[in-house]
Homo-oligomer: A and B are copies of this chain.
Amino acid sequence: MYYVGIDIGGTNLKAGLVDEHYQLVATKKMPLQFTSMEQMGETLTDMALALLEENHIARDQVASIGMGFPGSVDNRRGVVIKTVNIPIRFMPVAEMVHRRWDVPVYLGNDADCAALGEYYHYGDEKLESLILVTLGTGIGTGIILDGKIQAGFNGFGGEGGHIVIVHGGEPCTCGRKGCWERYASASALVRQTKAAMEANPGSAMWQMTGGLEQVDGRTAFAAMRAGDAAAKAVVKQYLDYLAEGLANFINIFQPEVIALGGGVSHERDEDLLVPLQSMVLDMCFGREAERHTKLVKAKLGNDAGIIGAALLGVSG
């Protein structure tokens, strides 16, 4: 038996076949060309069927199709409510697929699907809970409790990047001020790095990058390792903001695992996970508990979305 997963991004569609051991055994990728919701429904069905054909899989060997959308979904009704960057509003995806193929269709938010993928791939033992925190342009969070995505009663939950941690702080795209992602996303780290360079004309970061345009999320970490004091201060401050939000999540959920994803998560453990783990343990309730939330690096990388979408059929 196989599970089909489709990860719908702003520019590409990625489909994959996942086997009973939750492993990705085949993929298919194509650019997204959105003209209408009707056409999009056809394209998604075509893509899933083509994936089967290319891999000589019969329809009845497929347990379900899962799709991860960049937005909010109503999985029970099989409807995508709204997406970011693609003009989808109340698209009846399950019904569209069912016109041509009577297979169970599951829908999820893309960040939630990625978290589900990490949850099922964590290890041999069943996890109680996992939260995936992806540090990118913003901060995406996917919350999995007891194998189930927690997206709220209306599908709009799990927006953990939009937790205000600095009351009255920096304006956020969401309309509030001081959201966590304004301080602890990869983009925030880039802004903080640039500001530190401007304030420190003697910082080694200038030579290392060649200028502000070349700054990325690795700049401050690399310069810190080279002994630059300004870079060290940037990383310290950044970790402090990151830990603040992680500690908030732990005080609420005490999840078994928090997995960090996104480019920043690839920094060396001794520069990122090790200091963070000790910082959050000091900040959180449950210091005296027998077990503490484990901070780990996300495992699945770019495939998390496809695998997680496919595993919507396992999670139910």
Contact = CB atoms under 8 A, between A and B. Distances in A.
Interface stretch (A16-24, A46-54, A143-151, A202-210): A143-151
Interface stretch (A93-101, A166-174, A216-224, A301-309): A166-174
A34 interface: no
Contact of A247 (B164, B183, B254, B291): B164
B81 A163 contact: no
A239 to B, nearest CB: 13
- Interface band, chain A: 35 or more
A3 interface: no
A185 B64 CA distance: 48
Number of copies: 2
B155 A289 contact: yes
A178 B178 CA distance: 13
A165 B162 contact: no
A153 B167 contact: no
Contact of A167 (B165, B282, B292, B293): B165
Interface of A: 72, 81-82, 128-129, 141, 143, 145, 150-160, 162-167, 169, 174-176, 178, 183, 241, 244, 247-248, 250-256, 282-286, 288-293
